[in-house]
Amino acid sequence: MSSTQTHHDVDVVVVGAGFAGLAMLRELRDERGMSVRVLEAGDDVGGVWYWNRYPGARCDVDSTDYSYTFSPELDEEWNWSERYATQPEILRYVHHVAERFDLRRDVTTGARVATATWDDDTAHWDVTCEDGTTARGRYLVMATGCLSAVKRPQVEGMEDFTGQVLHTADWPREPVDLAGKRVGVIGTGSSGIQVIPRIAPEVAELVVFQRTPAFSVPAHHQVLSDAERAALKLSLPERREMLRNSPTGLSVPVTRRGALDDDDAAREQHYEEQWHSAGFGFLLAYNDLLISHEANRTASDFIRGKIAERVTDPALAEKLSPHTYPYGAKRPCVDTGYYETFNRENVTLVDIAAAPLTRATATTLETADAAYDLDVIVFATGFDAMTGSLLKPTITGRDGVTLQEHWAGGPLTYLGLMTAGFPNMFVIAGPGSPSLLGNVMVSIEQHVDWVSALLVDSEAAGTPVIEATEEAERAWVDRVNAAAAPTLYMEAASYYLGAEIEGKPRVFMPYAGGLRRYRRECDEVAREGYRGFRRSPEPSTDLQPA
Ligand code: N01
């Protein structure tokens, strides 16, 4: 399906064939009658689920809630096998959707976008790809995802390492045999926490290089029985309504009391119950865990207590216990046997906050204190999050201004959907919207519906050039900052804040006001005739190219 030197003239160019890009394609093509070309860097559809195929990769949102909602037939015929789907099963789902709705015919794979340039005279976006593919469309939709630009830290001498070097977010498609090898894993975020317990039993030695310990709670994966699946299907309409109207897009009931509203014994019991069932939803055990230090301390202490129970060596348990930021201020993790993995004889934890990594040699990875002989090094170091994939290509808007220039101080958006000076360019579930702070599937579908409705409205009104005004953008950036300011999110060096990349502007990027409020705001803007957007007719046809 990969093509080179081809040109596509369409209504809408979509970048990225993950969940967002495919949903955008189906909606615009099949429901709104527009022509669409999706440009995808990978060799197949799937987005993050195409790239992140490391052992143990799976979703931590219930499979039923991490599914498209546009087709009752799709719901009927697809059967998730587990509560939290594995990466291979999610990829199978994406493939099924692509085939079921005949989406691949409008996707060009192997086409990594290099440039996108707004032509003000003709009101079109011109897009070029590294493989020579070009496309032209009146609209450009960036469906590139918040977690797709891979972060590869520089370690001196890494080029001399003669073993295998892997990254969780760019895992080979062919099987990787780690059996009997000495493996080092750098990074203990969600990816590290999934891959570490999964590979520990098969490798000879596992050395985990930890810079910042994570808070992790048990995932409680479970295979779904036929009866459970049937019950889930029956509850779908109600469940989806709940997701759409919840602040998080998760099917976890919001507790309507604060942590200190319960006395110590009641709180302990509540945490204990949540620990044994909630998974990712543990963060919602009380409604003030992300706004009150005192409340948060009770949850943080509870989790640290559990780490101490799960790890037999108290000194090791302490090393694995986070103390430098509040629980939830970085994206919380869920695990299956992560902490217990450190009770194994063949697993070593290296605290690289205390003794930083210094260099790699042909056969070792070294810290300030010691050298570790390794056959394989796995980077589980995450992403240049939120803005990385948007700033990788050169996107040039009005008056030759690039997105890199416009966003030099951090992402500026109106509703997270558009950025001033970049007419007819939309971002799906990116910075300035709730995106990573909730169930991203709910965010994606909300954006897809909203953008599609705007395009249809604009075309019908004869005003197909749309742009966020500078005032609306300024006001929205203030709203994003104001929503984050009272939260504990501000107290961790997280990727929400741009702290994962040296030199990246330190601004809180997602909208922390909750999905429900955000959806209402977007709907209100639309009802008020797309308040904050400037809309104008297309330039006269004599300016169109011959
Ligand atoms: O990446 P991360 P991830 N030297 O950024 C460390 C989603 N996801 O791929 O905290 C040494 O969270 C870094 O340390 P520190 C989910 O949204 C979901 O794990 O920067 N260490 C940290 O420990 C998740 O949040 C699922 O000090 C370095 C780790 O690497 C997001 O993807 C599964 C370093 C990076 O953690 C990203 O997760 C997997 C350096 N130079 C992922 N640079 C599920 O759905 C970074 N680190 C379950």
- Average pLDDT score over residue span 408-436: 98
60: left (phi over 0), alpha (psi -120 to 50) or beta: alpha
DSSP string, 331-360: PPEEESSHHHHTTSTTEEEEETTTS-EEEE
Q: What is the pLDDT of residues 86-123, one digit of tens each?
A: 999 999 999 999 999 999 999 999 999 999 999 999 99
- The average confidence (pLDDT) of the chain is 96
- Average pLDDT score over residue span 44-68: 96
Instruction: For residues 112 and 128, give the distance between their C-alpha atoms in angstroms, rounded to a whole number.
Output: 8
211 lines ligand 1 (CB under 6 A): yes
- Average pLDDT score over residue span 375-399: 98
* Residue 540 confidence (pLDDT): 59
- Average pLDDT score over residue span 43-70: 96
Q: What is the pLDDT of residues 172-202, one digit of tens each?
A: 999 999 999 999 999 999 999 999 999 999 9
- Average pLDDT score over residue span 69-91: 96
Distance, CA 196 to ligand 1 centroid (Å)? Answer: 13
* Cα torsion 130, 131, 135, 140: sign: negative
Type and span of the H or E element at 308 = helix 293-310
* Residue 546 confidence (pLDDT): 34
* Residue 254 confidence (pLDDT): 78
Residue 383 has pLDDT above 80, yes or no: yes
397, with CB counted inside 10 A (0-12, 13-18, 19+), is: buried
500 lines ligand 1 (CB under 6 A): yes
Rg (CA), the chain: 24
Q: What is the pLDDT of residues 314-331, one digit of tens each?
A: 999 999 999 999 999 999
- Average pLDDT score over residue span 142-164: 97
From 150, 172, 171, select the one nearest 392 (Cα to Cα): 150
Give this prediction's pTM. Answer: 0.96
* Residue 543 confidence (pLDDT): 42
Residue 67 has pLDDT above 60, yes or no: yes
The percent of residues in the chain predicted with pLDDT above 90, rounded, is 96
C-beta separation of 153 from 381 below 8 A = yes
With a CB cutoff of 8 Å and minimum separation 6, the contacts of 363 are 161, 162, 163, 373, 374
53 lines ligand 1 (CB under 6 A): no
Distance, CA 418 to ligand 1 centroid (Å)? Answer: 28
221 lines ligand 1 (CB under 6 A): no
- Average pLDDT score over residue span 149-159: 96
60 lines ligand 1 (CB under 6 A): yes
* Residue 544 confidence (pLDDT): 42
CA 123 → CA 152, 407, 494, 537, distances in Å?
37, 22, 38, 10
* Residue 252 confidence (pLDDT): 83
- Average pLDDT score over residue span 477-492: 98
Q: Best substitution site from 90, 211, 338 to test ligand 1's pocket, by max atoms within 8 Å of Cβ? A: 211
213 lines ligand 1 (CB under 6 A): no
- Average pLDDT score over residue span 245-274: 94
C-beta separation of 518 from 512 below 8 A = no
Dihedral over alpha carbons 9, 407, 488, 442 (to 10 degrees) = -10
* Residue 1 confidence (pLDDT): 44
63 lines ligand 1 (CB under 6 A): no
- Average pLDDT score over residue span 41-59: 97
Residue 542 has pLDDT above 60, yes or no: no
- Average pLDDT score over residue span 206-233: 96
Instruction: For residues 61 and 438, give the distance between their C-alpha atoms in angstroms, rounded to a whole number.
Output: 10
Residue 105 per-residue DSSP state: G
Alpha-helix residue ranges (DSSP H) falling in 127-285: 190-199, 226-234, 236-244, 264-275
188 lines ligand 1 (CB under 6 A): yes
Residue 262 has pLDDT above 80, yes or no: yes
DSSP string, 68-100: --S-HHHHHH----BSS-BHHHHHHHHHHHHHH
Residue 3 has pLDDT above 50, yes or no: no
Distance, CA 353 to ligand 1 centroid (Å)? Answer: 15
Q: How far is CA 24 from the centre of its chain?
A: 17
Residue 188 per-residue DSSP state: -
* Residue 253 confidence (pLDDT): 80
The percent of residues in the chain predicted with pLDDT above 70, rounded, is 98
Nearest residue by C-alpha to atom 35 in ligand 1: 381
With a CB cutoff of 8 Å and minimum separation 6, the contacts of 246 are 254, 515, 516
- The DSSP bridge partners found for residue 349 are 208
- Average pLDDT score over residue span 364-389: 98
246-255, 333-342, 483-492: least confidently modelled range: 246-255
With a CB cutoff of 8 Å and minimum separation 6, the contacts of 338 are 193, 196, 197, 216
59 lines ligand 1 (CB under 6 A): yes
- Average pLDDT score over residue span 50-63: 96
Instruction: For residues 3 and 6, give the distance between their C-alpha atoms in angstroms, rounded to a whole number.
Output: 7
C-beta separation of 122 from 543 below 8 A = yes
Please compute, for residue 182, the number of CA atoms within 13 A of its CA located in the half-sphere on the CB side. 9
Distance, CA 124 to ligand 1 centroid (Å)? Answer: 38
C-beta separation of 219 from 83 below 8 A = no
Alpha-helix residue ranges (DSSP H) falling in 407-509: 440-461, 470-484
336 lines ligand 1 (CB under 6 A): no
